[in-house]
């Protein structure tokens, strides 16, 4: 059961289901080439999957780098890049 409003739909998924942002992110974690749209009150507008927090991970067999895992579990949206004090 979705907590948030189901304002997103995927034009590539079978039957283009309406999804909330969280379900859309979970559903498309391994489907980065699908195209989604967001309901804007009177029409759907095209959006990138990054709009719901999808990222493509090239290492770790497509999974999130363990160093970023805690951040992902804390909402799944990446904050703007912050230079590390290590450098």
Q: Are 27 and 19 in contact (CB under 8 A)?
A: yes
Copy the structure tokens of residue 62. 């497509």
Helix/strand/coil for 17? coil
Q: Which is nearer to Zn ion, 5 or 69 (CB)?
A: 5
Q: Are 36 and 49 in contact (CB under 8 A)?
A: yes
Q: Which is nearer to Zn ion, 20 or 64 (CB)?
A: 20
Q: Which residues pair with 36 in a beta bridge?
A: 10, 47
Taking the complex as a whole, the smallest distance from the CB of residue 20 to Zn ion amounts, in Å, to 3
Q: Which is nearer to Zn ion, 2 or 69 (CB)?
A: 2
> In the complex, which residues of this chain contact Zn ion (CB under 5 A)?
2, 10, 12-13, 20, 23, 34
Q: Which residues pair with 47 in a beta bridge?
A: 36
């Amino acid at each position: 059961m979705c907590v948030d409003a189901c304002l997103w739909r995927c034009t590539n998924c079978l039957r283009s289901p309406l999804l909330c942002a969280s379900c859309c992110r979970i559903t498309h974690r391994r489907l980065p080439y699908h195209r989604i749209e967001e309901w804007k009150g009177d029409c759907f507008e095209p959006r990138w999957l990054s709009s719901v927090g999808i990222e493509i991970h090239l290492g770790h067999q497509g999974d999130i780098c363990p160093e970023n895992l805690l951040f992902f579990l804390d909402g799944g949206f990446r904050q703007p890049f912050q230079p590390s004090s290590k450098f």
